[in-house]
Amino acid sequence: MLYVIGAYAQADGTTWSTGPERGEGIPFVVGQAFADDQQVLVDLTDPNMETVLVSVRLRFDGDEDWPLTGTVAANGATYPVRCGEG
């Protein structure tokens, strides 16, 4: 099970935030979030849940130093990401 408690994103001069405790930005909310033993998928949408603003797609790749690799899409661009523990 995956619970996203807050988020902040910045891409191409635009920032989004789930609330001021995460930083200033255009409001967005978690539209959907899913995780299993192979992947993590998160869509952050406008507050009415009509448009996906930021999309996170990560896969577990088995590397101890960088167990998650994938992409973040925002503002029409896609960015490669690697996430490690810690």
- Residue 84 has a pLDDT of 75
- Residue 63 has a pLDDT of 66
- Residue 86 has a pLDDT of 56
Cα distances (angstroms) measured from residue 70 to each of 18, 20, 22, 23, 74: 22, 27, 23, 24, 14
| Domains in the chain: boundaries | 8-83
The DSSP code for 51 is: S
Query: What stretches in the chain show pLDDT beneath 50?
Result: none
Q: Phi and psi of 5, rounded to 5°?
A: -95, -15
Calpha distance 52→45 (Å, rounded): 4
The sign of the torsion formed by the CA atoms of 19, 3, 52, 66 equals positive
